[in-house]
Chains A and B, each alone.
Chain A
Amino acid sequence: MQHFYFDHNATTPVAPEVLETVVTCLGQVYGNASSIHHFGQAAKQRLEAARRQVAALIHAGPQEVVFTSGGTEADNLAIFGVVRAAGGRPLHLITSAIEHPAVLAPSAHLEREGVEVTRLPVSAGGVVNPEDVSRALRPETVLVSIMHANNELGTVQPIAEIARVTREAGVLLHVDGVQALGKIPVDVEALGADLYSMSGHKLYAPKGVGALFVRKGTRLAPTAFGGHHERDRRPGTENVPGIAALGAAAELAGRSLPAESERLAALRDRLENAVLSRVSGAGVNGARWNRTPNTSNIYFDGVDGEAMVIALDLRGFAVSTGSACSSGAITPSHVLTAMGLSADRARSSLRFSLGRSNTAEQVDALTDAVVASVIHLRRISVHA
């Protein structure tokens, strides 16, 4: 059976051009980027070229890019780094109810250590209100952390408006950009973000590499110790093949973004329109405007989302109930319930996330499979 992939928010396949970079680096660029000799210099050159490529994608300076092992580490470094640098006084941080666990869990950890944490609610459309940020600010607030695009819904948060609030208050703004990078234009200058997290494997680069944008002059304490790499911010011999791949993926994303986002949005709308016209008791979760172009979150009343994922997988279509990190969890999606969805409706929701390999033919086949699965699952749940 042929399998089709509609779960690009969980992870993406490595792009062929990126794969070539990885293979070349693994085979040939094996020096330690800190070494003085020819081999070390070759590695250092690849490292810095990648830094320029990533910086260019987000309109930052190369010296503002810190490479990490991925998005989770970037989020952890941003949050712990800012809080640790602020020192021992009473501290407060603000985040939202729909963040990824890579932000929520470090916040909860700091809360147990005595840091005050405010988790802002979101609208029924899944969007944070900048005025809520303003109201939540306190004299001891040191950081606001809000995601750029939500992983389950694709909703884009009003980062620039939030940044105006944080700037005025002199508070740092961290933006988890993992699900936005490569899908919508990112300009950290225009956004006003002080820290911006990125992940390679959501951008057609391999797992195990990511980056954190740290605006020049931002006080950030390291959270790991052992060397002077990455301007003392992230020690450890650099993963040059992974980082070079992230650079190549960033360049590719920058080139393809305008056309690709238009193409994906058209495919996404094709999917939503077909599914909604053919299936009753279904609807899109979250605002339909101002979303990443590839993401659609749809509820199917009377259908168990987990059963639907399995049924679709057996028909050859890979989708998910929400974030891959929390699938199989007992509680319904914290994102959907934060928007006010009932637990039942949250459990009956599916996330479709499209990507480069998807075609209109695949979308049409997926639509047929969704319709058939919903009919089947609703029929059998009648006597349940």
Chain B
Amino acid sequence: MPEPPIAVAMSGGVDSSTVAALLVRQGHSIVGMTMQLWNQRRLPELAPETSGHGRCCSLDDVYDARRVAEQVGIPYYVVNFERQFEEQVVQPFVDEYLAGRTPVPCTLCNNYIKFDRFLEMADSVGAHHIATGHYARVRYDEASGRYQLLRARDNSKDQTYFLFGLTQKQLSRTLFPLGEMIKPEVRELARSMDLDVASKGDSQEICFVPNGDYAAFMQAYLKDKGVEPQATRGAIVSTDGRTLGEHEGVHHFTVGQRRGLGIATGEALYVISTDAQTQRVVVGGNDDLRRDRFTAKQVNWISIDGVTEPRPAQVKIRNKHAAAQATLHATGDPGTVEVVFEEAQRAVTPGQGAVFYDGDLVLGGGWIA
């Protein structure tokens, strides 16, 4: 019996291309697949033909992935997950925004598409393992019998923040061959293997939202769905209850936002909280943004099976946040954790993920309530 193949998720970028080439060089049998997730031509008002670079599923990216597969000599397929992506990532993203929260679609995509639908597709080609170009590490811990997730060696590229939802089963079948490498090494490796994508730019932002303009995306998406966005208006109020101005819907605001409030005052004002029910946007000074605790819901435990006693951890509350020292407190519900920081943190934003670390080890994570 030959070794079962490894299914490599190929986006057309330098990272996943290098993974495919590297595994082939190591002698593994590989099937390359690109997930077609979103039709960039669907909302033409958002995406001028010329600006296709750096966003997911552009024809150029599929071309690049196909070219790499040809270069390294592996079977290659484009698999269409547009329907599932819209149902499980885009629609929840829009709903969350309209509800006044700030969602993290990349985590949903990892949970339900890249490490779920893609694993099913791997099953269908007889592959036991999948490999991706994520910067993260997985290892099996004999003592606890658990698959552990660890930060990437290249801390500046670490993507574990978006991977906190992975189950033991998913982790047991996943390879992150770039976890021990730093990005310049990956590029050098890609160059040494003559991959055309070696110097391709990194992708940025949320792949289906051009230029990071969420409000424009939602307007175009809702129009495409034939949903007339409700004309919403609400008050912008200060922390002591004074009305300072008006706005056109809480979904235009996110906690910590400073620009675009349309209020002229002497001091700098930030969004402190939003409430979709009352359409109130509360603003205040920088200090008002600080919170020393929050509740994390739908917690997924990875490297440990939960907390019973208070446990120290470093907690990261958004991708660019430097994890802050905190204590995890168990509640009556194993899926809910009370997080108490040693020092209050700025802009704890409902809808974002909170990931718990012990050094490099990812203990688990949940959603900020």
Contacts and interface: CB of A to CB of B under 8 A. Distances in A.
Nearest to A384: B120
B78 interface: yes
Nearest to B85: A330
A330 B78 contact: no
A307 B33 CA distance: 12
Contact of B78 (A304, A314, A328): A328
A380 interface: yes
The contact size tier of chain B is 10 to 19
A376 interface: yes
Nearest to B79: A306
Contacts of B78: 328
B36 interface: yes
B124 A311 contact: yes
Contacts of A313: 75, 77
Interface in A151-176: none
A330 B83 contact: yes
B75 A307 contact: no
A49 interface: no
B80 A380 contact: no
24 contacts: A304-B124, A307-B120, A307-B121, A307-B124, A307-B125, A310-B79, A310-B121, A310-B124, A310-B125, A311-B124, A311-B125, A313-B77, A314-B126, A328-B36, A328-B78, A328-B80, A330-B39, A330-B80, A330-B83, A376-B124, A376-B126, A377-B124, A380-B123, A380-B124
Interface of B: 31, 36, 39, 75, 77-80, 82-83, 120-121, 123-126
Nearest to A303: B124
Interface residues of A, number: 16
A325 interface: no
Contact of B80 (A306, A308, A376): A306
Contacts of A381: 120
A331 to B, nearest CB: 8
* Interface class of chain B by DSSP: mixed
Contacts of B31: 314
A381 B82 CA distance: 19
Contacts of B80: 306, 328-330
Contacts of A376: 124, 126
Contacts of A330: 39, 80, 82-83
Nearest to A328: B80
A323 to B, nearest CB: 15
Nearest to A314: B125
Interface string A327-355: 01110000000000000000000000000
| CB-based closest 7 A-B pairs | A307-B124, A380-B123, A330-B82, A328-B80, A310-B77, A311-B124, A330-B83
A314 B120 CA distance: 16
A313 B33 CA distance: 14
Among B31, B39, B123, the one with the most A-chain Cβ atoms within 10 Å of its Cβ is B123
B33 to A, nearest CB: 8
Given A313-B77, A377-B124, 17 more contacts: A304-B124, A306-B80, A307-B124, A307-B125, A308-B124, A310-B79, A310-B125, A311-B126, A313-B75, A314-B31, A314-B126, A328-B36, A329-B80, A330-B80, A330-B82, A380-B124, A381-B120
B84 to A, nearest CB: 10
A380 B173 CA distance: 15
B83 A314 contact: no
Nearest to A330: B82
A119 B82 CA distance: 27
Contacts of A377: 124
A25 B33 CA distance: 41
